[in-house]
Structure 1
């Protein structure tokens, strides 16, 4: 049985539940700045992903098994379907869940996410990269890994954030266990996940895609996803990199409230 650590906000009697998946090195705390806003109309659940925070991870976990565990978790909570929001790694997981359990997803928002790698060759190469990172975690320890991780090009735009915000992100990363992150890379890393590219055209749901304008790689990925999805709504947010919800939180909140939570009072100003 799955044993996810999670927090919840809002009324259990709310007609809709919003389920939140954070990214690699994050926890449920990623979403704390938004809970008051989103729980005005929804029952919100923010979970620690496997290997992160207080959710343990097994060596034999796979992305498919994770999605099965989420389905069991929803059954335990008495929830038939959710609106699902995922960031980065959490976005890959959210998309995987939506393609395997489409009847259990009533809305989907993917932030800086991808459907995985297309070819076996690409996946094998990424597995080697992720194994190198996992070994680095185990050998060098968490602090040295975080020093390295926060300086990879993907997060260059975060260096312009206010110091309290940067320190909060670092504190969240340092709250992890090196063994948990290493197992996450080996079991739920991009190289381990089957490609969802061919499944996009069959995902007959409204999907909201969000990418930062300065995250050129993921802008390209999401533009291609938009073409393949039957009903996609792509938002490219100006002056943001990979982590839109941190770099442009006000705009991200408006996108979520208007397009996922259907609060028509929110008017967007994305540029």
Structure 2
């Protein structure tokens, strides 16, 4: 039986970000790509809100419209949320696949530095012209593989969003307030694969570190791509993930 695949988008994205993957999907498996909920309620009412709190909130908002059992694939921020769902929704998630998702910073100093950076970004999203902030956002090293045309297209698509919502999500989901989940992930039985681009050195290192702790973990590598593999090569991405899931479901 083909279980559905739930796809969680990254920061600044939406469920529509998976349209090209859906277009190239090679079989009849159902693909479900919800929009992650607004974080402004949490950001405005709870100073202690973080990625764990937001992940529970997102699950509460979305789970009634999700299948009883499903595979789960999250990209970047969506992958970090998926990590938390995998421990919160035991029994419903058949397998966990992560694309360019950070398991957490290893020490308090690194988390403190990242929290400062993310709060600065949140302030910029909330107060500065959005096109200028997005231009600077997509100049970060993690997006170095993007062409000028791709950056322009992303900025054009993202600038229609609500800056206050962007700022709230950045504050609530800062990597600076996330626990280091590396060991927990390595022990998570449902965690089956990590997907990354060969040109994304930061997340290649993350993939290798995870695989060192969990040797049975499948590493799905797209040699010529950077941070966002599903956008960079949707047809190849769809083919490889479809094949991986079919193998997972095959009786041993």
Normalized against structure 1, the TM-score is what? 0.81
After TM superposition, the structure 1 = structure 2 runs for residues 24-35 of structure 1, keeping only pairs within 5 Å, are 24-35=11-22
Q: Distance in 2 between matches of 1:227 and 1:46?
A: 31
Matched, 1:43 2:37: no
The aligned runs of 1:165-244 (5 Å cut-off) are 166-229=151-214, 231-244=216-229
Q: Name the SS of the counterpart of 1:129 in structure 2.
A: helix
Q: Distance in 1 between matches of 2:90 and 2:119?
A: 32
Aligned length: 245
Aligned counterparts of 1:47 and 1:56: Cα–Cα separation in 2: 18
Note the residue ranges of structure 1 that are not aligned, 5 or more in a row: 1-13, 265-271
Contact kept? 1:50, 1:56, Cα under 8 Å: no
3-state secondary structure, aligned to 1:207 = strand
Q: Structure 1 pair 166/105, CA: closer, same or farther in 2 (3 Å)?
A: same
Conserved 8 A contact 2:9-2:35: yes
Contact map agreement 2:37 2:58 (CA 8 A) in 1: no
Give runs of aligned pairs for residues 94-105 of structure 1, distance below 5 A: 94-105=82-93
User: Which whole-Å CA distance do the structure 2 matches of 1:75 and 1:18 have between them?
Assistant: 14
- Cα gap change, 1:229/1:243 in structure 2, threshold over 3 Å: closer, same or farther? same
Are 1:258 and 2:243 an aligned pair?
yes
Please give the per-residue CA displacement for 1:86-139, whole angstroms capped at 9, x wherever unaligned. Answer: 111111111121133332211221111121112222111111000011111122
Counterpart Cα distance in 2 of 1:181 and 1:74 = 19
- Distance between the aligned counterparts of 1:225 and 1:205, measured in 2? 14
Relative to the length of structure 2, the TM-score reads: 0.86
Match of 2:81 in 1: 93
Distance in 1 (alpha carbons) for counterparts of 2:182 and 2:123? 29
Residue 253 of structure 1: how far off its partner (Å): 1.4
Contact 2:21–2:230 (CA<8 Å) still a contact in 1? no
Listed as ranges, the matches of 1:101-140 within 5 Å are: 101-140=89-128
Please say if residues 97 and 194 of structure 2, whose CA atoms lie closer than 8 Å, have aligned partners that are also in contact: yes
Q: Do 1:209 and 1:232's aligned partners in 2 also have CA atoms closer than 8 Å?
A: yes
Cα shift at 1:187: 0.5
Q: Unaligned 5+ residue runs, structure 2?
A: none
SS, match of residue 110 in structure 1: strand
Superposition RMSD on alpha carbons, in Å?
A: 2.5
Q: In the aligned structure 2, how far is the partner of 1:142 from the partner of 1:261?
A: 42
1:33 Cα deviation after fit? 1.0
